[in-house]
Amino acid sequence: NVQELETSVGHNGLATDAEILKIISKLVKQGKDAAEQYKSAGRTDLYDEEMGQVVVLEGYLPKQMTDDEIAVEVDKVMSETGSTNMGVLMKELNTRLAGRADGKTISKILKTKLDYVLEIKNKDSIEYGIKQGIIKHGSTEVKKEYVYHSELYLTYMSFFI
């Protein structure tokens, strides 16, 4: 919370706007999670109370970005960094979109984009393999496994001819 942040070692005693927005965002997320639990337990009275608090807190946050706006930012960051590392990209995106987009939504959109990039790389690899004679044209099955390791996405392909 703000008091812990302001008294933490190495902190100048004042929370920045970004830090406060992060705390409010966290409280909103916790409130929504609690409200859903109340709703699933049939406690509409507590649900309504919790959602009322969430609405008040959301009033202090900047307007949330749409999925399309987030996708544009994801494209920019991927282009600027040249990285396909989920961790590197998420760190940058969370910094840029702090308070304006939920981390879960950013992650979902980024993962979709990375999967697409890997699919294109895989397709290019298969076409290259066919041209080089490494893979016989007419192969009946291509098994793809994506493994995330350190800073690289490695694409393993097993070809059954």
Q: Per-residue pLDDT tens for 37-81?
A: 999 999 999 999 999 999 999 998 888 899 999 999 999 998 898
Q: What is the pLDDT of residue 158?
A: 36
Name the residue with higher pLDDT: 141 or 44: 44
- Could you tell me whether strands 152-160 and 141-149 are parallel, antiparallel, or unpaired per DSSP bridges? antiparallel
CB 77 within 8 A of CB 94: no
CB 96 within 8 A of CB 77: yes
- The answer to pTM > 0.75 is no
Q: What is the pLDDT of residue 88?
A: 92
Give the residue-averaged pLDDT of 26-43. Answer: 94
Give the mean pLDDT of the chain: 76
If we measure between CA atoms, which residue out of 37, 32, 38 comes closest to residue 53? 32
| Interatomic CA distance for residues 50 and 61, integer angstroms | 17
Name the residue with higher pLDDT: 21 or 144: 21
State the number of CA atoms in the 13 A half-sphere of 46 facing the CB: 13
